[in-house]
Amino acid sequence: MTNTRPNILATGTPFFCDLYHLTMAQAWFLDGKADEIKTSEAFFRKNPFGGSYLMCAGLGEFVQWLENWHFEKEDIDYLRQEKNADGSARFDERFLKFLDGQKLQLDIAAVPEGELVFPNEPVYSITGPTWQVDLVEAALLNAFNSQSLVATKASRMAYAASLDGKQRPLLEFGLRRGHEMGGFSETRAAFIGGATGTSNTAAAKHYGIPDSGTMAHSFVMSYEKEVDAFKAFMRGNPGNTTLLVDTYDTREGIKHAIEATKEVGLPLMGMRVDSGDLAYWAKEARKMIDAEGNNPLFANVKMVASNDLDEYLIENLLMVQKAPYDVLAAGTKLVTAYDTPALGGVFKTKQYMGRPCIKIAEGKTTIPGATNVVRIVRNGKFEGDIICKADETDLVQNDKLTRDATSYTLNSINGLKQTFKQGEQAYMVLQPVMQNGKVINPPELNLQKLQQRGKENLARLDLAYKRLANPHIYGVGLETNLYHTRQMLILNAQLGR
């Protein structure tokens, strides 16, 4: 046992897995199957938050880990001392010798971060030696499930913050409530999804994104008088004079903020309300600020709301109660994906030694074979998705369908099938990332660019799909050849073939 937690991305430790990935790898090796080739794909079955889409995140950090993936001597030594319940060695020396010096031999296609995906569509497709495909499963799902959830939540909050047409900053204030020590991945995903800044200084420095913050109740309570606390904070932070006004009596806090501003002589940049009736106090604060007339010290005061915000509360504050907020700061319900704490993304075998595979279970029957997704774009909007066989690369050329494509829908909302005509604008959603263990298409790591990609994709999604409650269901179907292959495999299984 060491005293220092490993930096998983930097070390590339192959132990970013579950134990059974290693025990299965050993069994495959000892049975002569380690070099057999299979394809497994990651997907999810249900949209989070009662919405109609998922915003992908996590690929960049997953690939960083893959690039550094290798077994150290100390890893082999650790496995060597592992014991079964009866005291016998858990891992065979032949297997340990096999692991020493191994390099990844995987081919990976994935959905870029900031792209939108829908239930049952492949998000990652990984092909390679069977033991290696499974050994990267946990890392993939850990990055994809958690970061995509937070990115999607952030996108919904950012959408709610601008429903009336005014673009309001959404700040991520979730470090103290996050599940990850350091909160790096949560901050990263929130920014991709649409947050404009973070209170997490370490993550802001690491990712090169804006940091933001005001003051805490503890600062106010360290002074005998609230007004003295405000004056001290303004003098100490003349370029960041947003004051927290609800430590004691919110009305008095607003008055004290105005008083402190006049005495210090610095412009008041904002007032933050963190408790109580957020709409009421924002309106009261605005009235008192407006009563100062043309005093330049109060010319640009922003109202900031915090306190367990989510997209529904933001929508209600702005659209129903008409609260005059200019900035929204979300913490707990953003970084914990509060109302859908787990995405449930899975990783399933789709093809083994060139043969399509299918898992048949009620509500969980998979789509066989290696697949990709064709996205149809009509008049600048996403019109529908077609899941097709991955080798049908000729279906889209020069961003257009090369032939008519019939899609058998996976849900009955839009009818049994739909045909898209040759020449329709389209693109393949999954893009090649790695070939034989080498990165051939490095994922974008600049978070500002990823955030912009997310915004552009959301703009291409019709408003009916972005409703916070009861959104329209986006159409996803199986291309004709894939549909018939799936039906045939289901029938063969039913007949016991």
- Where does residue 491 rank: exposed (0-12), middle (13-18), buried (19+ CB within 10 A)? exposed
Rounded-to-integer distance, Cα 143 and Cα 149, Å: 10
Query: What does the radius of gyration of the chain's CA atoms come to, in whole angstroms?
Result: 27
Contact 376, 426 (CB under 8 A): yes
Res 202: pLDDT: 95
Task: Name the residue ranges covered by the structural domains of the chain.
Answer: 14-69+104-135+345-494, 70-103, 151-335
Res 204: pLDDT: 96
The CATH architecture one would assign to domain 14-69+104-135+345-494 is Alpha-Beta Barrel (3.20)
Res 497: pLDDT: 66
Distances (CA, A) of 405 to 376, 377, 444, 476: 10, 14, 31, 13
Query: Residue 60 is encoded by which pair of tokens?
Result: 């960049």
The CATH architecture one would assign to domain 151-335 is Alpha-Beta Barrel (3.20)
pLDDT in tens, the chain (497 residues): 556 777 888 899 999 999 999 999 999 999 999 999 999 999 999 999 999 999 999 999 999 999 999 999 999 999 999 999 999 999 999 999 999 999 999 999 999 999 999 999 999 999 999 999 999 999 999 999 999 999 999 999 999 999 999 999 999 999 999 999 899 999 999 999 999 999 999 999 999 999 999 999 999 999 999 999 999 999 999 999 999 999 999 999 999 999 999 999 999 999 999 999 999 999 999 999 999 999 999 999 999 999 999 999 999 999 999 999 999 999 999 999 999 999 999 999 999 999 999 988 877 889 999 999 999 999 999 999 999 999 998 999 999 999 999 998 875 444 578 899 999 999 999 999 999 999 999 999 999 999 999 999 999 999 999 999 999 999 999 999 999 999 899 888 888 76
Contact 189, 113 (CB under 8 A): no
Write the Ramachandran bin of 128: left for phi over 0, alpha for psi from -120 to 50, otherwise beta: left
